[in-house]
Amino acid sequence: MLKYFTSCAFLLLILCFSGCQKTDNEQINEEVDYVAMANTLMGTDSDFSLSNGNTYPATAVPWGMNFWTPMTSKMGDGWTYKYDENKIRGIKQTHQPSPWLNDYAAFSLMAVTGELKIQEDERASWFSHKAETALPYHYSVYLADYDATMEVVPTERASHFRFTFPEEENAYILLDGFAKGSMVEIIPEERKIIGYVRNNHGGVPENFHNYFVAQFDKDFEINHTWTDGWKLLENSKTSEADHVGAVVGFKTKTGERVHVKVASSFISPEQAQINLDREIGQDQFETTKSKAHQAWKKEFDRIEIEDTDELDMQTFYSCLYRLLLFPRKFYEIDANDQIVHYSPYNGEVLPGYMFTDNGFWDTFRAVFPFFTLMYPTLDAQIMDGLANTYKESGWLPEWASPGHRGVMIGSNSAVNIADAYVKGIRDFDSETLYEAVLKNAEVEEGRPVSSVGREGVDYYNKLGYVPYDVGIHENAARSLEYAFADFNISEMAKIMEKTADVEKFTKRAYNYKHLFDPETKWMRGKNQDGTFQSPFNPLKWGDAFTEGNSLHYTWSVFQDINGLINLIGGDQAFVEKLDEVFTMPPKFDNSYYGFTIHEIREMQIVNMGNYAHGNQPIQHMIYLYNHAKQPWKTQKRVREVLRKLYAPTPDGYCGDEDNGQTSAWYVFSALGFYPVTPGTTQYVVGSPLFDKVTMTLENGNKFIVEAKGNVKENVYVQSVDFNGKTYDRTWLDHKDIQSGGELIFQMGPNPNKAWGTSEESVPFSMSLK
């Protein structure tokens, strides 16, 4: 049990000595606040050259439309909060999914006292992490230059600020609308600032606006605005230009608190006010804070951990926090309580769900499988949002922020859709989405950006691969991912009884074989004439692959690992190939990029050979030892990564966190299993990290994972019981988990090479059906 309960035992001892009697039904419980264990600063010690997460401390509720984050960096810097910087410029509303995609619709609030300073470098205040609170539901920072404190607590589409001032003749709150188009209007008689911002980095229609309203609880004694070039417009109430802002000022007493309720809308100024009234209304700051805390507690309490290692628990809940942030809701609830959204695809206000800020190249691997497991209703809503994207743009999204963005590769929307359908989620427009995935798989023309649809699909459908020599970069990676998408389409088609499509896409799912080089036994780019590209260096990053090399992408045969085993030469040869990735030096060829990109550096420095856990393509690889009947190697490697490459600290990730994916790997792996093959109902078993985990599923059932003898050195599975019966499979079925039950592992310090090694024990592969 948790060491937190020791205080309960002590209390019980005191009560007993006091002569108190306890009936059989009485219990003394100390409720654990799992939310307090989440460190939102995990991963914030990052920069362009080296990512320890590339995160920012998002103050939000799960999947909220708006997040809020402190800014240590300049307006427009994708690395908005760097842990080792020491000045705060403001707290901004952010929608940033990644520093590489940057932000949109951002604006900030900042407190200043004494001399008025509006320019972002001049107004920035020294701060210390020692006087900073960073929780999922509450951010607070002491501004040393102004002897003032800024705090913010969130709702889905609004937030509640609290500014605590010293005794001061001139106390100000600044609202910065940022560059690329903004407007502010101060309404003193209503204690309001309203306006809009239009900043973005792509993926928006021409009429894109984020309308905001900021409601204060104190009269303004001063009101100014500024315009382009930080030009102060004294005693003005309105300003509209490329970059404007507003200043309101007052006299304050020592410890006086000024509250500001802020909401925004992508639909209209009126909808922003509706969002504010509905989500905060007359609530006090502490009420809003409590509601935000409860929003996180509701989700965290669904995965209850009992363990003595507090550090591991902090890491788990820090990762779970990241896993539940994206994709963000991009829909609102209108005056008639109808779900509506501003379409980032055609600029219209339309009914229905919309979600955004997600790159499926990352998140198809474990984030969306986690939603199918724990949040099927939410997953169905996201799927309906995908259907709306297709109706409004003619294509499924692959990277949306907020609309289509031309980054990354693959056809992984099909994986997310099929995975939901295969796992029994039905409450979405599956016919429209099936039409959409077929279009992705067949149509080259009319794609709005390179990432949408399938670049090179005509080559792929004719040859079985995208050729190396036709000017389409990352061709081998595309081919492998298209083949996996085809597998997913075939699995969805089976259930929908679309027989001709089953045959077509099952055949295409074997296209991975075209790229396997029998000489080197690695995946390799292939030319249009059928010859392999040459010269070939399996350590070369990029080129035929995406943010990785052949050693990383060879394993991207999620649908048929047994087929890959046969190509390589059998179980032992396959295991030796897996081992080679870990045991070789971290050598690399960066010539495609012309410099060492951060993903390469992150692989190089962790002393795990060529295993690049900091990027997504290889994250499932550790689990593949199960397919070759050596599950103990999976168990060892899983524990090594869990403990070595993650920590609840600013440098706590080993690469980009990426919309919850690197966190999802940790969450699943700590639970003891991982979704190697989305589009099937199987999860592959690893090595559970905690003594006991109780998962409360959406249907009300509880699934318990218990690891007996689970000291740190006992990483190996000795035996497994499932619902009282001996269990020898290295995989779990989604339906069995959803039915609830108890999975008990007996752990030990040495491998049990008899467990999980029979032909019947291995996980799914197409060629084993």
3-state secondary structure of 156: coil
Q: Is the pLDDT of residue 633 over 70?
A: yes
Burial of 428 (0-12, 13-18, 19+ CB in 10 A): buried
Alpha carbon distance 562, 627 (integer Å): 7
- Split at pLDDT 50, 70, 90, the class of 5 is very low
Q: Residue 30 — very low, low, confident or very high, per pLDDT cuts 50/70/90? A: low
Burial class (CB in 10 A: 0-12, 13-18, 19+), 582: middle
pLDDT in tens, 734-761: 999 999 999 999 999 999 999 999 999 9
If we measure between CA atoms, which residue out of 394, 389, 441 comes closest to residue 414? Answer: 441
Strand ranges across the sheet with 731-733: 673-674, 682-685, 731-733
* Cα-based distances in Å from 11 to 18, 19, 28, 329, 742: 11, 13, 9, 44, 31
Q: Which residues pair with 717 in a beta bridge?
A: 747
Residues in Cβ contact with 278 at an 8 Å cutoff, skipping those fewer than 6 apart? 333
- The count of other CB atoms within 10 Å of the CB of residue 19 is 6
Half-sphere exposure of 454 (CA within 13 A, CB side): 32
Average pLDDT over residues 573-593: 97
Query: What's the sign of the alpha-carbon dihedral 370, 376, 380, 381?
Result: negative
Residue 59 DSSP one-character state: B
Residue 7 pLDDT > 50: no
CA distances from 764 to 61, 167, 218, 677, 723 (A): 36, 68, 63, 8, 22
618: region left, alpha or beta (phi > 0 left; psi from -120 to 50 alpha): alpha
pLDDT value of residue 31: 82
Please state, for a pLDDT cut of 90, what percent of the chain lies above it. 96
Crossing angle of helices 631-644/661-671, nearest 10°?
120
Beta bridge partners of residue 342, listed in sequence order: 349
Q: Give per-residue pLDDT as tens, 401-429.
A: 999 999 999 999 999 999 999 999 999 99
Q: Which of 92, 652, 613, 30 is nearest to 318 (CA)?
A: 652
Q: Give yes or no for a contact between 509 and 484, defined as CB atoms under 8 angstroms apart.
A: yes
Among candidate residues 423, 545, 556, 441, the one with its CA nearest the CA of residue 491: 423
The single residue listed with the structure tokens 């960096």 is 73
Q: What is the pLDDT of residue 19?
A: 35
CA–CA distance, 164 with 148 (Å, rounded to integer): 5
CB 631 within 8 A of CB 730: yes
In whole numbers, what is the pLDDT of the chain averaged over residues? 95
List phi, psi (to 5°) of 673: -160, 165
pLDDT digits (tens, 9 = 90+) for 115-164: 999 999 999 999 999 999 999 999 999 999 999 999 999 999 999 999 99
The mean pLDDT value for 495-520 works out to: 98
Q: Say yes or no to pLDDT of 321 above 70.
A: yes
The arithmetic mean of pLDDT across residues 487-500, rounded, is 98
Distance CA 290, CA 297 (A): 10
Q: With 0-12 CB in 10 A as exposed, 13-18 as middle and 19+ as buried, what is 315?
A: buried
φ, ψ of residue 297 in degrees (nearest 5):
-60, -40
Q: With pLDDT > 70 as the criterion, what percentage of the chain qualifies?
A: 96
Measuring CA to CA, how many Å separate 696 from each of 209, 427, 432?
A: 40, 21, 32
Is the model's pLDDT at 47 over the cut of 70? yes
Tell me how far apart the alpha carbons of residues 101 and 659 are, in angstroms, rounded to a whole number: 12
> What are the angstrom distances between the C-alpha of 480 and each of 135, 145, 203, 249, 617?
40, 55, 27, 59, 11
Phi/psi class of residue 562: alpha, beta or left (left: φ > 0; alpha: ψ in -120 to 50)? alpha
| pLDDT, average across residues 89-95 | 98
Q: How far apart are CA 678 and CA 668, in angstroms?
A: 13
SS3 for 97? coil
- Kindly report the pTM of this predicted structure: 0.95
Q: In terms of residues, how long is the chain? A: 769
Judged against a pLDDT cut of 60, whether residue 87 lies above it is answered with yes
Tell me the average pLDDT across 451-475: 98
SS3 of 191-211: the string is CEEEEEECCCCCCCCCCCCEE
* Distance of alpha carbon 377 from alpha carbon 270, whole angstroms: 29
Query: In whole angstroms, how far apart are CA 19 and each of 12, 22, 71, 92, 306?
Result: 11, 10, 56, 56, 30
- Which two tokens mark 729? 């499979």
Whether 12 shows a pLDDT value over 60: the answer reads: no
End-to-end CA distance of the chain: 42
